[in-house]
């Protein structure tokens, strides 16, 4: 019964808070961050693979950063006089 309560509490904490708000020295939730949170709050020692299995069961999966296409494509911007033909490549 206690373990079910612990799981529900952890899922809500991970969804609602950032690690640095809970005084865990991480910016994003990682397996290591969840492991340290469990150890500090509940005095339970878990291995990283077990933490990863629980996170997967709870629906948390690793995400890759999204690459922004507009940062990769150069845009030609006209410079010079009003009717000039000089162009310079600018990245936006």
Q: Are 80 and 86 within 8 A, CB to CB?
A: yes
Predicted confidence at residue 35, as pLDDT, reads 93
pLDDT of residue 55: 92
The per-residue DSSP string of 30-48 comes to: -HHHHHHHHHHHH-----H
* More confident of the two residues 14 and 76: 14
pLDDT at residue 20, as a whole number: 85
Q: In this predicted model, what pLDDT tens digit does every residue of 29-85 receive, in sequence order?
A: 899 999 999 998 888 899 999 999 999 998 988 876 666 555 555 554 544 445 555
């Amino acid at each position: 019964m206690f373990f079910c309560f612990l799981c529900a509490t952890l899922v809500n904490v991970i969804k609602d808070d950032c690690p640095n708000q809970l005084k865990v020295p991480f910016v994003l939730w990682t397996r290591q961050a969840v492991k340290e949170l469990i150890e500090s709050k509940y005095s339970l020692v878990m291995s990283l693979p077990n933490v990863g299995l629980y996170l997967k069961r709870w629906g948390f999966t690793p995400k890759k950063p999204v690459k922004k296409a507009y940062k990769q494509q150069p845009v030609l911007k006209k410079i010079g006089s009003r009717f000039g033909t000089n162009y310079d490549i600018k990245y936006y």
